[in-house]
């Protein structure tokens, strides 16, 4: 007989949390006293659905549990296409029709701007993809201690799901990854054990340019590719070279640090070079293993086009590109303004931006490796106040101090590119005392089947 782990409830999903899981509340028994409310977090459910769920430790005030069954389904519920969906922590919305996802993302952005008293009607419908699959140009896979290669289980960073497929990664990337998995098994190589801090293989990073077709495979391991590994390494180089000639960068990175991050202490180029070429919006970029570049090139080009359209750069204007990265926005804008200054705290990104500008014959740029707050002051002192400013900050946003510096610099137009609607709304609220008005917000879906959404917004100084 199967041991019951707890009571079963029928729960109605009220709304979704910020991780895309359903939220519900039920009343539980309380030893004969008044029932107590139990708040539930139920992944893979949709608003308005009624589900049956079994809860362990129901005496707690809040519990997370998977649904046993769907009693009343949302009309937009669909059958997930990926065999890993129920366990994988990646695509949490594969059970929702794509049209439903887009509507939810639009509503998410509207709620965020409304929370800061902006007009939600300024938010346009989210721009989706014609084909919301195989859109990612970069993936990071993990090796389990027994050498299986895959993705982390949802909510469990110590368990790796052995990869059969990945429906959001580029198809050739998946094929190359499966070849690596077969190579590991053939040579009986061990993965890294995070608890014992022992083992060889930690991660595999795969990135491919959809424009040039060039691919990078980067292994992260605890030992150099020599000694007892030499025979296996020689086989790897040969089979990748034969089966995947598009791999222009095959690298082995040594990482002995306890932190579970994709980083390197030594870089060994096994074949090709240490970077690949990519293209976006008509410009050519060099990408290293740690280069930040938009992971959905199809939608990223739409982001650039939208930013150019609403920013309306003029050849007589000065412009600042804040959090400029490797120049994804800088180069297209620089070709349309008198001069452009890019600011980015990551020095390697600034070096890449300079090199990318040179490679593309863009000579009216100045790139500064500095944090945004101090970088603005330095640029304004030598560069003067800009007519146009674009910022594309990390998920945490730019922050009040940076936004107030932007406001004081007084650009005519501000283009804000955001990957987090909440921090975006908080940031632009700081601009109101400086006379800026929000004119429009255009959400763009760069991450189908996930909760994430990007925005491009325009603010005008009235």
Which are the catalytic amino acids? 419
Q: Report the alpha-carbon distance of residue 109 to residue 419 in Å, rounded.
A: 11
Q: Report the alpha-carbon distance of residue 130 to residue 323 in Å, rounded.
A: 30
Shortest CA distance to 20 belongs to which of 141, 105, 124, 129? 105
Output the six-digit token pair for 390: 């674009």
Q: H-helix or E-strand containing 366? A: strand 365-369
**What is the residue-wise DSSP string for 197-248?**
TB-SEEEEEEEE-TTT--EEEEEEESS-S-GGGHHHHHHHHHHHHHH-TTEE
Place of tokens 């029709």: 97
Output the six-digit token pair for 41: 């977090």
Output the six-digit token pair for 322: 């804040």
Q: Report the alpha-carbon distance of residue 20 to residue 70 in Å, rounded.
A: 17
Three-state DSSP at 355 gives helix
Strand partners, 201: 191, 221
Q: Report the alpha-carbon distance of residue 60 to residue 228 in Å, rounded.
A: 52
* Cα Rg of the chain (Å, integer): 25
> Do 425 and 399 contact (CB within 8 A), yes or no?
no
């Amino acid at each position: 007989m199967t041991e019951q782990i707890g009571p079963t409830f029928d729960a109605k999903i009220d709304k979704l949390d910020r991780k895309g899981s359903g939220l519900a509340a039920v009343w539980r028994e309380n030893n004969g006293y008044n029932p107590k409310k139990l708040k539930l977090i139920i992944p893979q459910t949709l608003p308005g659905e009624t589900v049956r769920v079994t809860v362990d430790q129901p005496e707690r005030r809040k519990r997370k549990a998977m649904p046993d069954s769907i009693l009343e389904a949302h009309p937009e519920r669909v059958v997930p296409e990926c065999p890993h969906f129920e366990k994988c922590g990646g695509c949490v919305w594969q059970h929702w029709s794509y049209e439903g996802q887009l509507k939810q993302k639009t509503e998410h952005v509207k709620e965020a701007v409304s929370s800061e008293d902006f007009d939600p009607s300024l938010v346009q419908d989210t721009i989706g993809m014609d084909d919301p699959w195989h859109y990612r140009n970069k993936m990071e896979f993990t090796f389990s201690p027994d050498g299986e290669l895959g993705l982390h289980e949802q909510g469990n960073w110590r368990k790796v799901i052995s990869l059969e497929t990945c429906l959001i990664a580029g198809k050739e990337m998946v094929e190359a990854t499966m070849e690596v998995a077969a190579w590991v098994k053939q040579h009986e190589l061990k993965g890294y054990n995070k608890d014992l801090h022992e083992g060889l293989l930690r991660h595999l990073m795969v990135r491919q340019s959809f424009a040039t077709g060039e691919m990078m495979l980067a292994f992260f391991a605890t030992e150099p590719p020599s000694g007892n590994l030499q025979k296996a390494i020689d086989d790897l180089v040969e089979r990748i070279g034969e089966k995947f000639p598009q791999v222009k960068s095959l690298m082995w990175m040594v990482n002995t640090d306890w932190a579970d991050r994709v980083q390197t202490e030594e870089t060994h180029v096994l074949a090709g070079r240490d970077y690949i070429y990519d293209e976006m919006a008509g410009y050519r970029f060099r990408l290293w293993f740690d280069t930040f570049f938009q992971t959905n090139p199809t939608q990223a080009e739409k982001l650039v086009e939208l930013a150019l359209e609403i920013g309306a750069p003029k050849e007589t204007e000065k412009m600042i590109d804040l959090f400029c990265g490797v120049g994804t926005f800088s180069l297209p804008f620089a070709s349309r303004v008198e001069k452009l200054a890019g600011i980015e705290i990551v020095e390697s990104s600034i070096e890449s931006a300079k090199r990318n500008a040179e490679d593309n014959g863009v000579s009216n740029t100045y790139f500064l490796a500095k944090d945004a707050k101090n970088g603005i002051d330095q640029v304004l002192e030598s560069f003067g106040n800009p007519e146009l400013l674009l910022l594309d900050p990390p998920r945490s946003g730019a922050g009040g101090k940076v936004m107030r510096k932007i406001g004081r610099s007084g650009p005519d137009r501000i283009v804000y590119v955001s990957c987090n609607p909440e921090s975006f709304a908080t940031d632009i609220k700081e601009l109101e005392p400086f006379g800026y008005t929000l004119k429009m917000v255009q959400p763009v879906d760069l991450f189908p089947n996930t909760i994430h959404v990007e925005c491009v917004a325009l603010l005008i100084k009235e």
